[in-house]
């Protein structure tokens, strides 16, 4: 394989810890558990690793000192990656580039976070008290009550509604379809079926976002191991091939003419990934979208070209995303109902689907699986296209 081509590296191992209200382990302990499970899943041992990429989450509970906790020595690649929710795909692309270039042979990418505290509401984890102390104009949003991501995503959703006529019930259709998938996932935190009425009656968080429009907050860790495709043929699990990847960081300005809430980095990162993979949106069998909010699923699907701009609400309302629908999306329950491990949530389910290991929720057409990452408040975006088959 020519250096720099994504087909030279594959995902060979996946490790997950328990998710949710996990209070008996620290972030580093969860990270070690996930890495150990991923290495075992691949049929390797820890000493086979020569690369470590770490995404520390909102609590920054882990960093590259995790190497010591794992007992790893003589690494040729070690770095902390922070692109927020887009970090998982960024880590995978960096690991793939290192492997295809020959500068590493087996790289583990790990995310761990422990934002949930016993006796405290999960929303407290993402309230940034520092914003209240920022001087000058930087403190104006906080002074006006714009604290935390809920407000930012509510503004984006409202702009889409005002521009395209998207309704709260259409956002609810995303929540309902995602929960339907979660009922078939034993790892999901929320497995009780819901309907549109449940969504509409759930309490308002920030207008127009109801409680069931907002993702979970979870403690836990996920790790994936990458190695060369030729080596993976002799390992424990079927390899998941990386056909394409891309990034985009829009840099929205808070001023007239901004595309905030109307267009995301999925447009450009999707173009990059589709071009590298040599495929188009209509060839994708499974979509694993970063769904920190129902709105994020809707606009990301639009920007990848799975439906026309402004038609995401009607698309979700049609049932296309749900089990039995034409375009299966967030098949493990996503972050709304499954578990919230930043970009590792869509990545982990994509690997499970590509391997054909999803049980009752397995999608028949899993030849091409798209993974979407989103970070900040629509500020950062990443895309992966994965497959159980080598790239032609």
Residues with catalytic function = 290, 340
Could you tell me which residues come within 8 angstroms of residue 233 by beta carbon, excluding any fewer than 6 positions away? 239
Q: Considering Cα of 250, then 217, then 313, then 159, what sign does the dihedral take?
A: negative
- Token pair, residue 14, equals 């996946």
- Reading the block at residue 286, the tokens are 């499974």
Listed residue (70, 37, 12, 63) closest to 234, CA to CA: 12
Q: Is the peptide bond before 208 cis (omega within 30 degrees of 0)?
A: yes
Q: Tell me if residue 293 falls in helix, strand or coil.
A: strand
Please name which of 343, 339, 347 lies closest in space to residue 83, comparing C-alpha atoms. Answer: 343
Q: Which structure tokens are listed for 289?
A: 């979208």
Backbone conformation region of residue 272, classed left if phi is above 0, alpha if psi is from -120 to 50, else beta: alpha
3-class DSSP state of 24 = coil
Say how far residue 373 (Cα) sits from the centre of its chain. Answer: 5
Residue 7: which of 244, 316, 310 has the closest Cα?
Answer: 244
| CA–CA–CA angle 185, 297, 292 (5° rounding) | 70
- Asked whether the CA dihedral 139, 145, 147, 151 is positive or negative, the reply is negative
Task: For residue 337, give the DSSP letter.
Answer: I
Phi and psi torsions of 370, nearest 5°: -100, 135
Residue 57 near residue 125 (C-beta atoms within 8 A): no
Q: 368 by DSSP, 3-state: which?
A: coil
């Amino acid at each position: 394989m020519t250096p720099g081509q994504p087909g030279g590296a594959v995902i060979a191992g996946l490790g997950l810890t328990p998710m949710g209200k996990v209070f008996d382990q620290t972030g580093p302990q969860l990270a070690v558990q996930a890495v150990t499970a991923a290495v075992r899943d691949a049929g390797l041992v820890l000493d086979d690793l020569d690369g470590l990429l770490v995404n520390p989450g909102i609590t920054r509970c882990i960093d590259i000192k995790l190497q010591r906790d794992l007992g790893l020595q003589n690494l040729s690649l070690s770095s902390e990656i922070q692109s927020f929710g887009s970090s998982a795909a960024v880590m995978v692309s960096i690991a793939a580039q290192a492997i295809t270039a020959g500068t590493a042979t087996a790289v583990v990418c790990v995310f761990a976070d422990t934002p949930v505290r016993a006796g405290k509401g999960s929303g407290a984890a993402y309230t940034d008290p520092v914003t209240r102390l920022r001087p000058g104009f930087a403190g104006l949003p906080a002074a006006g009550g714009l604290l935390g991501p809920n407000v930012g995503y509510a503004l984006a959703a409202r702009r889409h509604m005002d521009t395209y006529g998207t309704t709260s019930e259409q956002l609810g259709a995303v929540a309902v379809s995602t929960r339907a998938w979660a009922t078939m996932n034993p790892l999901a935190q929320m497995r009780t079926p819901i309907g549109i009425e449940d969504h509409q009656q759930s309490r308002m968080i920030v207008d127009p976002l109801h409680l069931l429009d907002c993702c979970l907050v979870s403690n836990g860790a996920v790790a994936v191991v990458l190695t060369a495709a030729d080596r993976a043929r002799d390992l424990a699990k079927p390899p998941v091939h990386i056909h394409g990847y891309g990034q985009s960081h829009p840099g929205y300005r808070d001023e007239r003419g901004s595309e905030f809430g109307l267009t995301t980095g999925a447009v450009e990162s999707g173009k990059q990934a589709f071009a590298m993979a040599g495929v188009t949106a209509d060839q994708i069998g499974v979509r694993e979208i970063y769904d920190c909010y129902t709105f994020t699923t809707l606009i990301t699907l639009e920007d990848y070209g799975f439906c026309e701009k402004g038609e995401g609400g009607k698309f979700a309302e049609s049932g296309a995303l749900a089990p039995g629908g034409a375009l299966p999306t967030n098949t493990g329950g996503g972050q709304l109902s499954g578990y919230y491990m930043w970009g590792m949530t869509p990545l982990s389910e994509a690997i499970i689907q590509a391997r054909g290991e999803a049980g009752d929720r397995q999608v028949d057409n899993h030849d091409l699986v798209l993974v979407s990452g989103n970070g900040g408040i629509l500020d950062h975006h990443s895309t992966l296209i994965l497959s159980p088959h080598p790239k032609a």
